[in-house]
Amino acid sequence: MSLRLADERYALGRKSPSVTLAHGGGGKAMRDLIRDVFVAAFDNPGMGELEDQARLIMPPDLADGRLAFTTDGFVVDPLFFPGGDIGTLAVNGTVNDLAVGGARPLWLSCAMVIEEGVEIDTLHRIAASMRRAADAAGVAIVTGDTKVVGRGSADKVFVTTSGVGAIPAGVDLAASHVRPGDVAIVNGYLGDHGAAILNARGDMALESPVESDCAPLGELMAAVLAAAPATRCARDCTRGGLASALNEIAGASGCGIDLEETALPLRPEVRGFCEILGLDPLYLANEGTLVLFVPPEQADAALAAMRRLPQGREARLVGRAVGEHPKTVVMQTLFGGGRIVDMLLGEQLPRIC
């Protein structure tokens, strides 16, 4: 390629209001996109001198703990929805995967696959919301990557975030620790995220639109562990909802789990929405809701700690682990019967996170 042609492509890339293939070429246009959009939004000491890796120092109070590391991809449709967007989803989803393991979330990476034609302003909006979400969660986005693909090779923007946190010494949460008699607690309403996404797609015009519950849960988990140090485990109820999280816990612990339908926190809008569409709210996705198991003698302390925080005001006990029907979740219904709550074979709603 001639120097003149390269300069012309660079100039077009700089002036374009949308992403071009020049922004993925590794040259000046790509450098400017990263600097103007992502570095400007995420700037923090952990990014250092923009080397090919972040160089991080563990906080002194966590030096004796264990590292926790997680990664997740986000492909939500639409990119923006009531209560959040793909950026807040990526930050909070990764933060929560660390938090439910008892870790204090510290650092995130962010990799984006961007389709040619996406407006630069869209990237600015996503990056800005990621920064706000990271600040609210107490984490820093310290490294990342961008790739640009041709039109039709992706759907606007895909985001992959990885997270590093530290598990304090003495904290050891695992589903295998659950024992018969332990109680199950959720921190808030079920199904809000799944309902918000489906409504945002225009598939259902709700008179009272539901907002996604997308929120960081690190502070909530820290409060629970301080109040109920014998907490057995926690899971965030993302894809597959509460039902899938409980089935995973039942399978790992060998316990059965009894779930009380009358105790489930559901908004009337979500309940009605599910009845109309034939969906089961137990399987609807959440992005700010978790389920945890604690010994019965610490249940009141855990509930009180959760209810003192915005993310836990609707916390309630929804079931318990039992010795009967091992590895199986059974819901006691409104009519007094019991029904098995199994894992879904697939997904009720695709592209929700």
Centre a 10 Å sphere on the Cβ of residue 107 and count the other Cβ atoms it contains: 20
The pLDDT tens digits of the residues spanning 53-86 come to 888 888 998 888 899 999 999 999 999 999 999 9
Highest mean pLDDT among 264-273, 289-298, 339-348: 289-298
Domain 3-52+62-167 homologous superfamily, CATH: PurM-like, N-terminal domain (3.30.1330.10)
Mean pLDDT, range 201-205, rounded to an integer = 71
For 125-136, how does the pLDDT look when each residue is reduced to its tens digit (9 = 90+)? 999 999 999 999
**Predicted confidence (pLDDT) per residue in 306-345, tens digit:** 999 999 999 999 999 999 999 999 999 888 889 999 988 7
Contact 142, 47 (CB under 8 A): yes
Residue 5 pLDDT > 50? no
pTM over 0.75: yes
Give pLDDT, residue 208. 67
CATH class name, domain 175-340: alpha beta
Distance from C-alpha of 293 to C-alpha of 173, rounded to nearest angstrom: 10
Q: What are the domain boundaries of the chain?
A: 3-52+62-167, 175-340
Is the pLDDT confidence value at 12 over 60?
A: no
What is the full DSSP assignment across 18-43?
B--GGGGSSSHHHHHHIIIIIIHHH-
pLDDT at 10: 45
Instruction: Answer yes or no: are the C-beta atoms of 235 and 305 closer than 8 Å.
Output: no
Mean pLDDT of 291-298: 98
Kindly report which listed range (44-53, 207-216, 242-251) carries the lowest average pLDDT score.
Answer: 44-53
Question: Which of 137, 135, 157 has the alpha carbon at shortest distance from 148?
Answer: 157
Quick one: pLDDT band at residue 174, thresholds 50, 70, 90? very high
Q: What is the pLDDT of residue 203?
A: 61
* Average pLDDT value for residue range 231-256: 97
Q: Residue 74: what pLDDT?
A: 97
Computed from CA positions of residues 19, 21, 23, 24, in that sequence, does the dihedral angle turn out positive or negative? positive
Task: Give me the percent of the chain exceeding a pLDDT of 90.
Answer: 74
Query: Can you give the pLDDT at residue 6?
Result: 47
| 119: DSSP letter | B
Average pLDDT score over the chain: 92
Q: What is the model's pLDDT at position 207? A: 66
Amino acid, res. 300: D
